[in-house]
Amino acid sequence: MPVSIAPRPNDPRLSALLSAATDADAWRAIEDLLDGDISPLIRDTVSRRLGRSHQAVDQLDDVVGEVRLKLTQKFWSLRAGAGEPVENLSAYSVTTSEHVCYGFLRRQFPERTRLRNRLRYALTHHPALKLEADPHGVWRCQSTALRRPVSPGATQALLDGPRDVVARLGVNLSAPLPAVVERLLSACESPVEFDRFVEVMATLLGVHDVPPVTNSPETQSSDRLEQIPDRAPGIQEVLEQRTSLLDVWHELVALPARQRVALLLNLRDPEGGAILQMLPATGVVSMAQIAEALGVSDAELHALWDALPLDDLSIAGRLGLTRQQVINLRKSGRARLARRVR
């Protein structure tokens, strides 16, 4: 006799919303939720993620507003009986805030985001490096190799004057990124906050993004605006790219389930970043569609998101296969996808 699985409950704080007799009552319940105890969680998370960027700090309110919008959409879907339940409203709000922040940074600072992805990949795939969250949820990185004698204050010295530290240690910045990262972190006496380390590496490698145009009187001058080249693709090119991406996505989700999962969970750009994380920003593929393609719930996708792309062993564990079987599935999926797209 099959065992029935009880549906997971929603957070009790959602009761007023879910039991609202009218839409007007539901709106009031949503306002109470957004203005209640999750409001400081949202702002604290956004401030922590964006507060170190001088260019992003002025847009904190806009990002908070985007988070509130996404939560509102989720609340209405719950009221309609759609989507996965929210068992822990606080945790869900923090995760949503982090994803919105990541999307904002990716749009505003693509070069910095690319470097961040490369560093995250190096820290999670190099045997002498480690990236993990502390008890407060702050991600920190460190070297796990046999430590050389280090002086007190070495970590702060790297954060305050990275070029001086590089000169003193004789670090070759043209070496492979994992080697540079390991050499710098091995000279620190304590783990380094990951966001701060990204800033350090951006300074050392000369990674920077063109700051967004402000609304100052100078930039409002028409003659100055006319001198700024428009590097954005034309509308026809944008439409063609979106259509092409949609075609590829349709062919991808038509692959057999295991081929599809093996391919999607490992997709990465040349810098090691997760291609899957970039798709929602295109407006062509939503998080819900990605979850459906992977055969996971929204909550499972949120929990998996920051770990992408997964290595073959991790994918094998999820599918109950061997590493070689995963490699074979992905190879077959790529070949089939190439034939269909062609």
Which DSSP helix (H) or strand (E) runs through 112? helix 110-125
* Closest to 140 measured CA to CA, from 180, 191, 98, 187: 191
Report the residue count for the chain. Answer: 342
Spatial strand order of the sheet with 192-193 comes to 129-133, 139-143, 192-193
Please state the pTM of the whole predicted model: 0.49
The share of the chain scoring above pLDDT 70, in percent, equals: 81
Lowest mean pLDDT among 121-130, 207-216, 291-300: 207-216
Q: What is the DSSP string of 267-335?
A: -B-TTS-BGGGGHHHHTSS-HHHHHHHHT--HHHHHHHHTTPSPPHHHHHHHHT--HHHHHHHHHHHHH
pLDDT at position 282 over 90: no
Provide the pLDDT for residue 217: 44
| Minimum mean pLDDT range among 67-76, 113-122, 183-192, 213-222 | 213-222
10 neighbors 86 (Cβ within 8 angstroms): yes
Per-residue model confidence (pLDDT) at position 225: 32
Instruction: Give the pLDDT of residue 202.
Output: 92
Return the structure tokens found at 115. 């470097």
The residue extents of the domains of the chain are 12-108, 113-205, 239-341
Say if residue 243's pLDDT is above 70.
no
| Tokens at 140, concatenated | 């920190």
Q: Residue 200 — very low, low, confident or very high, per pLDDT cuts 50/70/90?
A: very high
Higher pLDDT, 184 or 283: 184
H-run or E-run covering 258: helix 257-264
The model's pLDDT over 18-47, given as tens digits with 9 standing for 90+, comes to 999 888 888 889 989 998 989 999 999 888
At residue 242, the pLDDT reads 52
Least confident of 103-107, 169-173, 234-238: 234-238
Q: What is the DSSP letter of 135?
A: T
Can you give the pLDDT at residue 129? 92
Mean pLDDT of the chain: 80
Q: At residue 342, does pLDDT exceed 80?
A: no
Spell 112-141 as b/e; 16+ CB within 10 A means b.
bbbbbbbbbbbbbebeebebeeeeeeebbb
What is the per-residue pLDDT for 107? Answer: 79
| pLDDT of 214 higher than 70 | no
Q: Across 134-239, where does the E strand assignment appear?
A: 139-143, 192-193
Arithmetic mean of pLDDT, 149-164: 87
Q: Band of the pLDDT at 208, cuts 50, 70, 90? A: confident
Does position 15 have pLDDT exceeding 90, yes or no? yes
Q: Tell me which amino acid residue 245 is.
A: L
What pLDDT, on the 0 to 100 scale, is given for residue 324? 92
